[in-house]
């Protein structure tokens, strides 16, 4: 990276900033250091999902020090991209100051899927699958932002 280059500021946004956006921020810090300055927030703040923390730790990424934030806490930052990760965030995404481009890339909601699981291991499998899907998306950054996937639904 040349001294004149700056990292892209990317906000990963979901409903409660408890799971998917936290995973995306963690992956971006781990995989895109030097290219991306990642942030995460929710339409409203919640609590950090401990199953998300556990499955990220399994993959070698510690997100336990991250905290859930409301989008209002980051509105002062001039983002290059805001990536909505669920339908709720896409529908309620606020207008950001500056030049932020809004991109939607929906992922399934692990807590919702886990609610119907028959065991803790089955619940964690939902988290692991979404974790790995988010990792693949983050690995494709920043190139995939220009040809974003506009997958519909909360999924």
Q: What is the DSSP letter of 15?
A: S
Question: Which letter does DSSP use for residue 146 in this model?
Answer: T
From 11, 13, 14, 24, the catalytic residue: 14
Positive or negative CA dihedral for 114, 119, 120, 124?
negative
d(CA 106, CA 99): 22
11, 23, 86, 130: which one is catalytic?
Answer: 86
Q: Which of 35, 45, 77, 93 is catalytic?
A: 93
For 39-63, the DSSP string reads EEEESS-----HHHHHHHHHTT---
Q: Could you confirm whether 19 is annotated as catalytic?
A: no
Q: Which residues are catalytic?
A: 14, 86, 93
């Amino acid at each position: 990276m040349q001294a004149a280059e700056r990292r892209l500021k990317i906000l990963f946004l979901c409903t409660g900033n408890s799971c998917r956006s936290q995973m995306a921020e963690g992956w971006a810090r781990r995989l895109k250091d030097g290219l991306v300055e990642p942030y995460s927030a929710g339409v409203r703040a919640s609590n950090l999902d401990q199953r998300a923390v556990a499955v990220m730790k399994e993959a070698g990424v510690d997100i336990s020090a991250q905290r859930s934030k409301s989008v209002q806490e980051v509105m002062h930052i001039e983002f290059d991209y805001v990536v909505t990760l669920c339908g709720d965030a896409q529908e309620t995404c606020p207008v950001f100051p500056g030049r932020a481009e809004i991109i939607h890339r929906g992922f399934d909601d692990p807590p919702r899927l886990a609610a119907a699981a028959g065991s803790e291991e089955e619940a964690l499998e939902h988290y692991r699958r979404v974790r790995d899907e988010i990792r693949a998306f983050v690995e494709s950054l920043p190139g995939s932002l220009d040809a974003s996937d506009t997958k519909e639904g909360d999924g």
